[in-house]
């Protein structure tokens, strides 16, 4: 079984790139299951109902979110859609679901979305204790578990790798928009990469207009957020799972 995880969609440019390439990637790589991080799709922050409906038309099984989950007020109209999950360690009682179980090739695939706490400016529950509770629960209900850990700190993501090693099929990081070159399959069969990157404007500072971003760093003054324009890139990662054990046996990055 081959799982495709696509890096954060950033703005309309990223969404158009996904529409252009996703069907071809799925066919070329013989993908069985697709996960896309959608929290930056609409204007770089959040997800509107218009863009969500566009994503629903694409061959995507699960969309994950992150620190900009509530960036657009539209979200409350469709947050309970079974194809959309938000971080499971948001405060209890918050609308939406932090995981979903899907059927794929006669197997049950669970996808968990978590958010980090280091330098994220989001008040959330402990991602490690929430992950442990969910994994213990889902191991009884699903054949494989995949985790999108939306976090800033590489150390926090790597710690999660060791914490869940052998307990889940794969863990991939999102949020930093820069694809890392540390993909691996652990000794216990968990596929891991610190960040799968982004799907958005190539000439940018993690999706943001270069001049605006430089001005913010040079002057330390607030500057209106502006998305970059121009050519787009698509970053993703493929996890190849053993059909019997559903442990990861191969992992490789994709960059267009």
CA distance 19 to 56: 11
For strands 248-255 and 198-201, give the pairing: unpaired
Structural domains of the chain, with CATH: 2-201+232-255 (3.60.21.10)
Q: Across 53-156, where does the E strand assignment appear? A: 62-64, 99-104, 107-115, 144-150
Does the pLDDT of residue 132 top 90, yes or no?
A: yes
- 222 pLDDT higher than 90: no
pLDDT at 101: 98
Residue 224 has pLDDT above 90, yes or no: no
**Average pLDDT for the chain:** 97
Q: What residue ranges in 105-244 does DSSP mark as E strands? A: 107-115, 144-150, 170-174, 184-185, 191-193, 198-201, 232-241
pLDDT at 139: 96
Query: How far separated are the first and last CA of the chain, in Å rounded?
Result: 22
pLDDT tens readout for residues 4-35: 999 999 999 999 999 999 999 999 999 999 99
Axis-axis angle for helices 154-164, 127-138 (nearest 10) = 30
Q: What average pLDDT does this structure show over 120-144?
A: 96
Q: How far apart are CA 66 and CA 33, in angstroms?
A: 20
Q: Judge whether 68 counts as a catalytic residue.
A: yes
Asked if 207 and 11 count as a contact pair (C-beta separation under 8 A), the reply is yes
Q: What is the spatial distance between Cα 118 and Cα 41, in angstroms, rounded to a whole number? A: 23
Distance CA 246, CA 190 (A): 10
Q: Which of 68, 150, 175, 177 is catalytic?
A: 68
Mean per-residue pLDDT for 112-140? 96
Q: What is the mean predicted confidence (pLDDT) over 167-186?
A: 98
């Amino acid at each position: 079984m081959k799982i495709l995880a696509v890096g954060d969609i950033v703005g309309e440019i990223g969404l158009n790139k996904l529409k252009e390439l996703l069907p071809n990637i799925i066919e070329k790589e013989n993908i069985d299951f697709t996960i896309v991080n959608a929290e930056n799709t609409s204007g770089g922050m959040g997800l509107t109902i218009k863009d969500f409906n566009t994503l629903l038309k694409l061959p995507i099984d699960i969309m994950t979110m992150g620190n900009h989950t509530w960036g657009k007020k539209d979200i409350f109209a469709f947050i309970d859609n079974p194809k959309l999950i938000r971080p499971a360690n948001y405060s209890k009682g918050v609308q939406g679901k932090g995981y979903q179980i899907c059927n794929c090739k006669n197997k049950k695939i669970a996808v968990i979305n978590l958010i980090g706490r280091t330098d994220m400016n989001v008040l959330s529950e402990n991602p490690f204790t929430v992950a442990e509770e969910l994994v213990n629960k889902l191991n009884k209900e699903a054949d494989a578990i995949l985790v999108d850990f939306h976090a800033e700190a590489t150390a926090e993501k790597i710690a999660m790798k060791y914490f869940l090693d052998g307990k889940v099929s794969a863990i991939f990081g999102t949020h930093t928009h820069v694809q890392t070159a540390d993909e691996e399959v652990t000794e216990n069969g968990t596929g891991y990469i610190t960040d799968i990157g982004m799907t958005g404007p190539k000439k940018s500072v993690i999706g943001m207009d270069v001049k605006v971003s430089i001005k913010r760093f040079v002057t330390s003054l607030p500057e209106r957020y502006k998305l970059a324009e121009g050519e787009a890139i698509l970053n993703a990662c493929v996890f190849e799972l053993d059909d019997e054990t559903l442990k990861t046996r191969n992992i490789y990055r994709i960059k267009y």
